[in-house]
Structure 1
Amino acid sequence: MKTTDIISLISKIRDNANRFIVNEMDSWGVKGLAPSHGDIIFALLKNEKMTMNELARKIGKDKSTITALVNKLINQDYVQKTRDTEDNRVVFVTLTKKGRKLEPMFNKVSEDLLSTVYRNISQDEREELLKTLEKIKNNF
């Protein structure tokens, strides 16, 4: 493999991971969500409520993209928006009951994804891979 193929390889890994996630969600009966929706739900499972700006920073998307993703999740009753009682300009996003019910699925899909990703890769190789990928990311 040529070293110039790294971006193509990373792109293919991302595509495969996204396909894996969508297929797993389908098997749980969760339809119509993309992995980027899952990023928001996963963040909210870890943090009870977040502003749009916090979500944007957490998952690495711009605020307009987050707004569109959150609106779709609202339409599917997975999340809701509420205004801060002290500062009406601040809008929080929180999970609904339906959204919180996704936690077991998210935990299992995440576990299965990581198991697939790291199959036949030693702990030392994992650590070195993460260091290298972090360096590549920081180069940008």
Structure 2
Amino acid sequence: MQKKELENSLFSYISRIRIKSCYFIENEAKKRGITLSYSYMRIIIILYFNKKLSMKELTKKLGRDKSTVTSLINKLEAEGYIEKTLSDSDKRMTYIELKEKSQEIIDTIFEISEIFHEKVVEMIGEEDTETLYKINKKLLDNWNL
């Protein structure tokens, strides 16, 4: 692949869309007083829908390595958003769940999600947005790490 072709490759487009999307989400969050980066908000969203997960389960859902997730979790715990507990039956197993403080920002995160959705629809239209959902779902469902 030529260097010029790489700039316009799927690899490049997906990477740049991710960066711009995270920037947009984080900027909207800052406007509303949330200083967490997208990675931290993603953990809060996952825990909101799953209530309580082991570190192993959370790491799998995030698609990140254990050391990265541990670092993210430690910061969220220090800021009072989540709580870690050891399993009663297996002390090697750590569970993560949201604390009440997280509830204060959940509605705002959902609001930002709606704004993001509206922005995408504004740029590419409703039909292409639905197609984008289908394509992304297919990629996620079939991408085995």
Whether the TM-score (by the shorter chain) exceeds 0.5 is yes
- 1:19 maps to what in 2? 23
Cα distance in 2 for partners of 1:3, 1:43 equals 36
| 1:52-92 Cα deviation digits (max 9, x unpaired) | 11111111111111001001111111111011222222111
| 1:18-51 Cα deviation digits (max 9, x unpaired) | 11111111111112x2111111011011111111
Cα distance in 1 for partners of 2:92, 2:144 equals 36
- 2:94 maps to what in 1? 91
- 1:41 maps to what in 2? 44
**How much has 1:127 moved relative to structure 2?**
4.1
Structure 2 counterpart of 1:50, one-letter code: L
Percent of residue pairs identical: 34
Q: What SS does the corresponding residue of 1:89 show, helix, strand or coil?
A: coil
Cα distance in 2 for partners of 1:41, 1:48 equals 10
Structure 2: segments with no counterpart, 5+ residues: none
Cα distance in 1 for partners of 2:5, 2:116 equals 26
Structure 2 counterpart of 1:24, one-letter code: E
Structure 1: segments with no counterpart, 5+ residues: none
Structure 2 counterpart of 1:65, one-letter code: T
Structure 2 counterpart of 1:107, one-letter code: F
| 1:89-108 Cα deviation digits (max 9, x unpaired) | 21111111111221111110
